[in-house]
Amino acid sequence: MFEARVVTPGQTGVNPTGTTIPIHDGDVQLDGTADVRSTLELTTIDTNLWPTGAGSLLAPYGNEVFVRRGIAFGSGTVEWVSLGYHRIDTSEQDDAPDGPIRVSARDRMAGIVDGRLTAPRPFPAATTRGALLTALVTEIYPWATIEWDDTAERDEAIGRQTIAEEDRYAVCNDVVTSAGKTWWWDHRGILVVRTPTPVGSPVWDVNHGENGVLVELGRRLTRSGAYNGVVATGEGADTAYPARAVAVDTNPNSPTFWGGPFGKVPYFYNSPLLTSVARARAAAATTLARMTGLPYAVDLTSVPNPALEPGDPIRVTYPGRTETHIIDRMTIPLTVEQPLSASTREQSTVLTGEA
């Protein structure tokens, strides 16, 4: 079962008030490596929905599409999984006036990316991380709910006067990354700031054969875009000694072992918000964690599981091999005919930080 509702902006939760529109085709694409994590492509055959004014449902002037996918049980109950809120960017109709309407939409991070600053904004050293992020986000979304998993990080002062230049998203991302965290708008329409989840037990088995859910699998090895170390430095306009830390792959059994046959391939991250070695170490480790295992990746299709998200570990089993992978990108179909597709990387290294 599938459902799409056009809703006014500002709602949160998994059951917002809105107008349900029919779904003919479409999918939700989730990319944990992109600035905008979730993208919706939806086709509806209700031609009466073509926008005729700024207040029309599918006009790209602020309305959002909330989508969810459900499983109907024999008892008549339906278990729904929310796929989040997406701001309408484009409505298209190739065969007007009677053809289907295609809607393209992106999650709420698109508003932060689009909302560039019209003038520099100074923030004193005593400003907390939470206050800085809230100030820049609520200028775009006054109603936004921001949820940190760590109030100590949220309430810590940035420690150095910072000037937010033109790129609002870049400054917000720097606040989060320098704290050793990641951020995204989740399925409830809430902006969450989280420490990356340590790789643990797989949350789902993608297995081959009878009673398995694996439909198709492809794999590749590449060193393009691969790093096995991160150098994080914090240097501002003041005279304070810049903080510095390095995180590298120190597992001798890893194919990207620092100093092994793969070589030494560092990535450099600099932020004035890294005001201590401890802060630089956390940022280096977080940044490296997102790059871990890149040389070996798998593209697969399987029976849909809409509860999965980028960053989730899964166990992939096919003839002769069982591997633990991290989901980077995935596509959740909004029709019963299409399988789930995902791109993953094998989690094969151990990270440590050093000053």
Q: 33-43: per-residue pLDDT in tens?
A: 899 999 999 99
Higher pLDDT, 196 or 60: 60
Examine the pLDDT at 11 and tell me if it is beyond 80. yes
Phi, psi (degrees; rounded to nearest 5) at 129: -60, -45
Examine the pLDDT at 319 and tell me if it is beyond 90. no
Query: How much is the pLDDT for 251?
Result: 85
CB contact at 8 A, 190 and 145:
yes
Higher pLDDT, 75 or 169: 169
Domain ranges for the chain: 2-107, 112-194, 199-355
Query: How much is the pLDDT for 192?
Result: 98
Examine the pLDDT at 350 and tell me if it is beyond 50. no
Residue type at 74? Answer: G
Q: What band does 223 get if pLDDT is binned at 50, 70 and 90?
A: confident
Which pTM was predicted? 0.89
CB-based contacts of 173, cutoff 8 Å, min separation 6: 35, 183
Q: 187-211: per-residue pLDDT in tens?
A: 999 999 998 776 667 889 999 877 7
Query: How much is the pLDDT for 351?
Result: 39
Query: How much is the pLDDT for 289?
Result: 78
324-327 own/partner pairs: CB under 8 Å, 24+ apart = 324/199, 324/202, 325/298, 326/199, 326/292, 326/293, 327/32
Q: 119-156: per-residue pLDDT in tens?
A: 999 999 999 999 999 999 999 999 999 999 999 999 99
| Average pLDDT of span 37-57 | 96
CB-based contacts of 343, cutoff 8 Å, min separation 6: 297, 298, 299, 327, 328, 329, 330
Q: What band does 296 get if pLDDT is binned at 50, 70 and 90?
A: confident
Query: How much is the pLDDT for 21?
Result: 97
Query: How much is the pLDDT for 137?
Result: 98
The overall average pLDDT reported for the chain is: 90
**Which of 252, 247, 222 minimizes the C-alpha distance to 345?**
222
- CA–CA dist 341, 251 (Å, integer): 30
Residue type at 2? Answer: F
Q: Which CATH code fits 112-194?
A: 3.55.50.10
